[in-house]
């Protein structure tokens, strides 16, 4: 009986070591959508299934403490535009809704977004009233200098 118990214990230990293989793929953990995790600079990398290029861009930097943002984009203009304002995250029916307003009395964002699949380095925004309008953002260190200075060429 004692030999059987020792063999069983050895088998269980061996199974544990085999199951804990360092070579296993580890998936990124889905993060909660909150001000802390949204904080930082993000680049629009994909819009409705199409990869963005260097000519069309949108960078947005969120400040978690002030609930403000600075956005640089040229999606609806041939020139870079700097937009500033405030943003809000609301939880409704298990969805996290991101909305915002522009500074200088320019009103609310056109859309509200359901933020999903938030990872440390990427997130997906789905237009609340149009679930086929999907944007993917990736985290980046900063807005490129040529965009900040307005010297990025559209050529």
**Residue for token pair 């963005």:** 52
Give per-residue pLDDT as tens, 44-65.
Answer: 999 999 999 878 899 999 999 9
> Would you say residue 72 has pLDDT above 90?
yes
- For the domain that residue 77 is a member of, what is the CATH number? 2.40.128.280
| Residue 8, in any domain of the structure | no
Backbone phi, psi, residue 142, to 5°: -165, 170
> Would you say residue 142 has pLDDT above 50?
yes
> Would you say residue 23 has pLDDT above 50?
no
Q: Which DSSP string do the residues of 81-126 spell out, in sequence order?
A: EEEEEEEEEEEETTEEEEEEEESTT--B-S--EEEES--SSEEEEE
pTM score, whole prediction: 0.78
Q: How far apart are CA 56 and CA 72, in angstroms?
A: 11
Backbone phi, psi, residue 72, to 5°: -120, 125
Q: How far apart are CA 61 and CA 75, in angstroms?
A: 17
Please report the pLDDT score of residue 26 as a whole number: 47
Please report the pLDDT score of residue 79 as a whole number: 80
Domain count, the chain: 1
**Mean pLDDT across the chain, nearest whole number?**
85
Helix (H, G, I), strand (E, B) or coil at 141: coil
Domain hosting 43: range is 35-148
Find the mean pLDDT for residues 94-118: 94
Find the mean pLDDT for residues 89-113: 94
């Amino acid at each position: 009986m004692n030999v059987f118990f020792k063999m069983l214990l050895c088998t269980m230990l061996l199974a544990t070591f085999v199951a804990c293989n360092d070579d296993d793929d580890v998936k990124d953990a889905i993060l909660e959508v909150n001000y802390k995790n949204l904080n930082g600079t993000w680049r629009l990398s994909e819009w409705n299934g199409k990869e963005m290029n260097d000519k069309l861009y949108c960078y947005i930097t969120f400040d978690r403490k002030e609930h403000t943002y600075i956005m640089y984009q040229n999606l609806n203009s041939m020139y870079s535009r700097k937009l500033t304002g405030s943003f809000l995250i609301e939880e409704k029916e298990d969805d996290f809704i991101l909305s915002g307003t522009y500074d200088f009395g320019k009103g609310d964002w056109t859309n509200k977004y359901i933020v999903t699949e938030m990872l440390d380095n990427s997130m997906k925004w789905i237009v609340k009233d149009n679930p086929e309008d999907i944007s993917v953002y990736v985290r980046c260190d900063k807005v490129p200098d040529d965009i900040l200075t307005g010297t990025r060429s559209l050529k």
